[in-house]
Amino acid sequence: MSDALTLPAPATRPAMRRGMARFLKGAAGVLFLLVAWQLSVPLVGMSSYFYPAPTDVVAAFADLMRKGILPVYFADSMLRYSSGLAAGALLGVAVGVLVGLNRTASLALSPLFKFLFAIVEVAWIPIFVIWFGYGVKTIVLALVYVVFFPVLYNTLLGVRTAPQILVNALRSLGASRLQVLRYAILPAALPGIITGLRIGAGFAFRGLVFAEMVAAKSGIGYLIFEGAQNQQTARTIVGMIVLGLTWLAIDLFYLRPVERATIQRWGLTVDAEQRR
Amino acid sequence: MLRIPAIATALIAAIVLAWWAAATVAGERKLAGIAAAEPRGNYRITLDFAPERFHQVRLQEAGRLVEVRGDDVFMMDVPPPALRAIAREYWVRAVTPWEGR
């Protein structure tokens, strides 16, 4: 039995110490940046509108929390993001499987997908605004569009590279098309789907900010835009920091564990992930 | 294998639930002693600060915002469920009946 199927050993003390050391080094880097930023403010000598200090940003964060603006904007953004991501991923997997298994569908749809893939979501947003107005529908649709293509292409790749020997073995045992899909094709495509999802999740996060700037009256993207418009630069920076931290949390608590689980389950070694 | 996402999701759900419960209790406290007028009433909503556009937009979803004076927002035609929703907001300090214009 190869290492691929063995479960990872529980984190040992040296591994935990290494992780802590890595965290402390990262925190030291952030702290250094903050101190340098704060010290540079009197040297730059500009107003807080042009160049806010970290203390201004902290004050803006506290103000946004006290006034209830940040929690509502954050919740709105996350709801739009998760809805768009889920719908885009489902659609991408479904169409990817269909196109991957059906030659007629592939011939009919591939040129269209290639054409649409070249048109970024930014170009669609004005049209979506005309069709659906400002608000959640337009934003979610834009996110679905962004997530759809990476998931579609990676699913397609996974479906087309599914080991033919497994498919043939199942067929020779009398498996139905659905069983072949369930027991051979989908498991083989899963690493591809997860890769597509991770790429799509990143694209969608960027798309969310732009869509909210253009088509929303709430959300973190709107906060960034509104802060700059109203000369509240510190609020804009709060929005940017919240976005960055949110992405780190999504990656750490959702994307990486799901990817790791897929890698382990479907036959790639654990070492590759641990070497990160 | 998917323990971390499950724990994270459970934690988020717990925070949202706790937030919602705390807001509901606080909202009921703010409305204690106020008989919500049926079908709609007029109220003075007092905040801890001068309302920004965000607050005015949120309050307009609940009823007719007719005046803003300092930290107070005067509203007409607010139905009881919308009043409870307003009172749940933690940035609302007090809700008092208002005779209207």
Residue A18 pLDDT: 84
Alpha-carbon distance B56 to A27, whole Å? 39
Give the rounded percent of residues in chain A with a pLDDT score beyond 70: 92
Residue A1 pLDDT: 42
User: Where does chain A have alpha helices with state H?
Assistant: 13-44, 54-66, 69-101, 103-118, 121-132, 136-160, 164-172, 177-180, 186-215, 220-229, 233-250, 256-265, 271-274
Q: CA-nearest residue of chain B to A255?
A: B5
pLDDT band at A22 (very low <50, low <70, confident <90, very high): confident
pLDDT at A180 over 50: yes
Alpha-carbon distance A23 to A18, whole Å? 9
Average pLDDT over residues B1-7: 87
pLDDT at A162 over 50: yes
pLDDT band at A269 (very low <50, low <70, confident <90, very high): very low
Residue A204 pLDDT: 93
pLDDT at B80 over 70: yes
DSSP letters of A241-265? HHHHHHHHHHIIIIIHHHHHHHHHH
- Tell me the per-residue pLDDT of A99-120, one tens digit each, with 9 for 90 and over: 999 989 989 999 999 999 889 8
Residue-averaged pLDDT of chain A: 88
Peptide bond just before B39 cis, omega within 30 deg? yes
B60 to chain A: which residues are within 8 Å by CB?
Answer: none
pLDDT at A37 over 80: yes
Which has more confidence, A60 or A17? A60
pLDDT at A79 over 60: yes
pLDDT at B46 over 80: yes
Residue-averaged pLDDT of chain B: 91
pLDDT band at A13 (very low <50, low <70, confident <90, very high): confident
| ipTM confidence | 0.90
- Nearest chain A Cα distance for residue B91, angstroms: 6
- Tell me the per-residue pLDDT of A215-240, one tens digit each, with 9 for 90 and over: 999 999 999 999 999 999 999 999 99
**Among partner residues B2, B48, B58, which is closest to A257 by beta-carbon distance?**
B2
Residue A11 pLDDT: 56
pLDDT at B81 over 60: yes
B54 to chain A: which residues are within 8 Å by CB?
Answer: 67-69, 72, 218
In B, residues 6-65, which contact A (CB 8 Å cutoff)? 8, 48-49, 52, 54-55, 57-58
pLDDT band at A267 (very low <50, low <70, confident <90, very high): low
pLDDT at A8 over 60: no
DSSP letters of B40-97? -EEEEEEESS---HHHHHHHHTTSEEEEEETTEEEEEEE-HHHHHHHHHSTTEEEEEE
